[in-house]
């Protein structure tokens, strides 16, 4: 038996998540003195039955000096976000109010043929559905008021900025604007060429990622909570999250997964990208690890409308999840997708060679596949507003084409919308036939 002494943060009985332990080790390797002064962004889970006195005592203990602060509640996960020094983490890890402490990890964005190939154009023409009356919240880097979103009418119905506190829509990175167009661009500046699946859907921009396309877990959770709190006011039916972080914990414990699942149970369809760490197995990111929400993988359509030559994109993350669950749930085009360019954004200056016709830009990633899926869901909900998130997921899976070498198939808009229209009748018939 080994008699090796253990550092305090190695022996905490799962009080600290693996990501936080890793950070504490990194600080220790640099300089032991760092433990006394460096602030670490954290999320504290409170115990389920934590009373007000214990919670207040925890806040008082952590807010005694400028290096430590618990500053904002995250009600969807019964937590509090803030910054604590390693010494303070050591002090509070066994506090009566504390369940677990997580490192508030960095979350990043995951970077013409698509709408026609998936059948969305046929839905527009044959079924006269365009996403009208359905609101998609794009939680990302923000949203630029591109002509394809504001003409002939402004469909950006709300904007919330958790990074810089601005009130008017903007996107200093460009990723979120591209994603908004992937879902709901109307092709106004391209004579309809670069149109998204839901060209009349309403859009809400939730800025949780900065100019470099990165942010913290807690900020994304705040964005999800804003959507839950404003669901009725803005008729938010869909959240498109084209972002993620490596998954270290089960979906039951992971903060971002828990918040996304809470939104799902509040009646909002949540779509998240599988990640861009393929083709290796077991690379699904959070929040896509959650078994309830819709995890979207990316295909490469080879720039053809014909599906026979389509393949799963090499970069698209593969399952199983950290909990050994089957993911992704569905695949959508995500390679070389042409969508909206945010003027003056970081992407515009970083990759000018990918700009198309001055107003558009070509990007690839499961980030692009996710809002395309969200746009199709908007068509389904326009066809049948009574569908629940679970109904939507079931229909997408049931109508997908098994053209890919995976357990789940390739999204097909027209079949999904047709089933959505008649779904309640089909369910009733199935029950009666038992």
Catalytic residues: 140, 175, 367
Give SS3 for 332.
strand
List the 214-216 sheet strands across, edge first.
Answer: 214-216, 106-109, 243-244
User: What residues contact residue 177 under an 8 Å CB cut-off, 6+ apart?
Assistant: 141, 142, 143, 144, 146, 171, 340, 341, 342, 345
User: What residues contact residue 92 under an 8 Å CB cut-off, 6+ apart?
Assistant: 44, 58, 61, 62, 84, 98, 101
Burial of 219 from C-beta contacts in 10 A (0-12 / 13-18 / 19+): buried
Q: Indicate left, alpha or beta for 174 from its phi (over 0: left) and psi (-120 to 50: alpha).
A: left
Residue in the structure block whose two tokens are 């970077």 = 111
Tell me, what DSSP letter sits at residue 186? B
Tell me, what DSSP letter sits at residue 194? S
Q: Indicate left, alpha or beta for 83 from its phi (over 0: left) and psi (-120 to 50: alpha).
A: beta
User: What residues contact residue 330 under an 8 Å CB cut-off, 6+ apart?
Assistant: 294, 295, 296, 297, 373, 396, 397, 400, 408, 409, 410, 411
- Give the dihedral of Cα atoms 115, 117, 121, 123; nearest 10 deg: -110
Give the bridge partners for 138, in sequence order: 205, 240
Distances (CA, A) of 90 to 6, 360, 396: 14, 50, 47
């Amino acid at each position: 038996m080994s008699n090796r002494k253990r550092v305090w943060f190695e022996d905490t009985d799962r009080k600290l998540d693996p990501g936080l332990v890793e950070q504490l080790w990194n600080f220790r390797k640099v300089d032991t003195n760092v433990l006394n002064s460096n602030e670490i962004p954290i999320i504290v889970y409170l115990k389920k039955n934590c009373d007000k006195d214990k919670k207040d005592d925890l806040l008082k203990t952590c807010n005694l000096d400028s290096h430590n602060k618990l500053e904002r509640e995250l009600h969807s996960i019964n937590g509090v976000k803030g910054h604590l020094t390693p010494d303070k983490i050591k002090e509070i890890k066994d506090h009566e109010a504390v369940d677990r402490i997580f490192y508030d990890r960095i979350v990043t964005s995951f970077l013409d043929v698509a709408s026609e190939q998936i059948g969305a154009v046929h839905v527009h023409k044959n079924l006269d559905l365009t996403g009208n009356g359905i609101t998609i919240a794009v939680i990302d880097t923000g949203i630029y008021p591109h002509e394809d979103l504001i003409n002939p009418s402004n469909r950006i119905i709300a904007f919330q900025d958790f990074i810089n506190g601005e009130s008017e829509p903007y996107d200093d990175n460009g990723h979120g604007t591209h994603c908004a167009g992937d879902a709901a661009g109307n092709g106004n500046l391209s004579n309809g060429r670069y149109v998204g699946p839901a060209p009349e859907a309403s859009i809400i921009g939730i800025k949780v990622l900065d100019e470099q396309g990165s942010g913290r877990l807690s900020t994304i959770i705040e964005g999800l909570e804003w959507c839950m709190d404003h669901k009725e006011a803005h008729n938010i039916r869909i959240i498109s999250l084209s972002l993620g972080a490596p998954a270290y914990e089960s979906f039951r414990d992971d903060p971002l997964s828990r918040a996304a699942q809470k939104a799902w149970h509040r009646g909002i369809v949540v779509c998240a990208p599988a990640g861009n760490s393929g083709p290796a197995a077991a690379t699904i990111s959070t929040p896509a690890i959650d078994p309830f929400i819709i995890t979207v993988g990316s295909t490469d359509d080879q720039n053809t409308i014909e599906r026979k030559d389509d393949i799963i994109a090499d970069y698209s993350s593969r399952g199983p999840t950290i909990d050994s669950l089957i993911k992704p749930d569905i695949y959508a085009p995500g390679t070389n997708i042409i969508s909206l360019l945010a003027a003056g954004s970081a992407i515009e200056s970083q990759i000018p060679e990918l700009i198309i016709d001055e107003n558009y830009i070509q990007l690839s990633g499961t980030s692009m596949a996710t809002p395309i899926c969200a746009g199709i869901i908007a068509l389904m909900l326009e066809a049948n507003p009574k569908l629940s998130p679970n109904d939507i997921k079931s229909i997408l899976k049931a109508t997908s084409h098994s053209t890919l070498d995976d357990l789940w198939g390739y999204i097909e808009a027209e079949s999904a919308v047709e089933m959505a229209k008649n779904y309640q009748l089909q369910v009733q018939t199935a029950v009666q036939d038992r």
